[in-house]
Amino acid sequence: MDLPVSATVPNEGPLPAYRHLTDRGLLQADPAQLRAAEVLQDLWRRTRGYDPQPEDPEPGGFFARFMRRKPVAPEESPAGTPMGLYLVGEVGRGKSMLMDLFFACAEVARKQRIHFHEFMQHHVHARIHAWKRKHGDTADPIPPLADSIAAEAALLCFDEFQVHDIADAMILGRLFQALFARGTVVVATSNTVPDDLFKGKPGRDAFLPFIALIKRRLEVLVLDGGRDYRRQRVIEMPSWHMPADGRAEAALDAAFRELTGQDHGSPMRLALLGRAIEVPQAAEGVARFDFDTLCGKPLGPADYLLVATHFHTLVLDGVPRLGAENFDKARRFITLVDALYEHRVKLIASAAAAPDKLYERGENAAMFERTASRLHEMQSRDWRAQPHLP
């Protein structure tokens, strides 16, 4: 649900904006959300006009050109106190909606809202790679990287903060320490409490100082209990659209927007045993693929298991009629459906026909009957009411 701050409502912060939405019936009042809005309101108040000026080692250099006006003095916090918020809770609790309200209200000239995975891929790894190509492997890229990020944004809002990659884990501690030293304020949403980040992964001991840093510099607030609003929405929406035409595509667009609050997700890479699965669009635990991208490539059970455990909902475009002529795709689709079914992933798809009409003829049609039965069951309200099993 897109929840912009109305231009007709004075900007008095995220808490009045949240109350305005609940008063109008656009949101259902929720005590945990209200508490989070109160914490965000305090952060909004403390960051009004916040504009820390980066140090420029060269007079008249890049930072001097970038920051021409003097910073507005913020309400300074004592050293070591929180410089932002880490908002954690289960899927569907409204974390991203609350962060977006704060971001829309934030009176910070340089601010950025970005999916955390996209930030790491395009703002961190790509810049480090470019730096090393120019300066060699012996030069330390973290200070200049932090300089450039801090110059672009005094407020960074990260959606879906999660760490799965050892390369990310090794960078984050020093990078965030440098960003905090430059006055960057961070607000992040996550499904994982800090103490469970990168849990059970090789090299986690080296990651523990970053966890300690997050807990020391960001206030950690848990949105516990309450109603899973996203699960309720996915229960109520149609999930199988046919035929796979323009109208069905528009319905899938609407479903993705309803579940994520975004028109389009961000590309994402899921690492698996030295290779990666490219996800064309991902946001808020929802992935979107077209059929050929997911079932037309040589993927196997482990790949589909990775998708099923990482996303609570899959939006799938263009399931064709299946048969002997495209049996490799049919076999992969069967494997995909099995993984989705076992992990209670909600499937919203456009298709050429109803599940029991997709594969009607040929020697392998009988083996598809179980898949068709599962696809029918996955459309039921009772099945979709079950929680995702990551």
Task: Give yes or no for a contact between 107 and 48, defined as CB atoms under 8 angstroms apart.
Answer: yes
Task: Give pLDDT, residue 8.
Answer: 43
- Whether 3 is in a domain gets the answer no
Q: What residue type is assigned to position 313 of the chain? A: T
Which domain CATH number covers 216? 3.40.50.300
Q: What residue type is assigned to position 388 of the chain? A: H
**Whether residues 44 and 162 fall in one domain:** yes
**Whether residues 110 and 250 fall in one domain:** no
**Range list of H helices, 67-165:** 95-105, 116-118, 126-135, 142-152
**Whether residues 357 and 217 fall in one domain:** no
**Whether residues 193 and 324 fall in one domain:** no
Name the percent of the chain lying above pLDDT 70.
Answer: 87
DSSP calls for 202-233: TTGGGGHHHHHHHHHHSEEEEE-SS--HHHHH
- Whether 187 is in a domain gets the answer yes
Domains: count for the chain: 2
Tokens of 83: 């410089």
- Whether 142 is in a domain gets the answer yes
As beta bridge partners, residue 187 has 85, 157
pLDDT by 10-residue block (mean), the chain, 390 residues? 47 91 84 91 93 58 37 39 81 85 94 89 88 85 94 93 84 93 94 87 87 92 70 80 94 91 86 80 91 93 90 94 89 94 94 91 80 92 82
**Whether residues 115 and 184 fall in one domain:** yes
- Whether 4 is in a domain gets the answer no
- Whether 26 is in a domain gets the answer yes
- Whether 116 is in a domain gets the answer yes
**Whether residues 237 and 332 fall in one domain:** yes
State the Cα angle at 255 between 253 and 222, rounded to 5°. 125
Q: What residue type is assigned to position 166 of the chain? A: I
Task: Give pLDDT, residue 96.
Answer: 87
**Whether residues 209 and 69 fall in one domain:** yes
- Whether 192 is in a domain gets the answer yes
Q: Which of 199, 223, 247 is the last residue of a domain?
A: 223
**Whether residues 46 and 174 fall in one domain:** yes
Task: Give pLDDT, residue 24.
Answer: 86
Task: Give pLDDT, residue 47.
Answer: 93
Task: Give pLDDT, residue 230.
Answer: 62
Tokens of 103: 């971001």
**Whether residues 21 and 130 fall in one domain:** yes
**Whether residues 210 and 95 fall in one domain:** yes
Calculate the CA 110 to chain-centre distance.
21
**Whether residues 198 and 249 fall in one domain:** no
Task: Give pLDDT, residue 66.
Answer: 35
Task: Give pLDDT, residue 219.
Answer: 92
DSSP summary character for residue 25: T
Residue 71 has φ and ψ, to the nearest 5°, of -70, 150
H or E element in which residue 275 lies: strand 275-283
H or E element in which residue 188 lies: strand 185-190
Q: What is the CA radius of gyration of the chain?
A: 23
**Domain limits for position 262:** 229-384
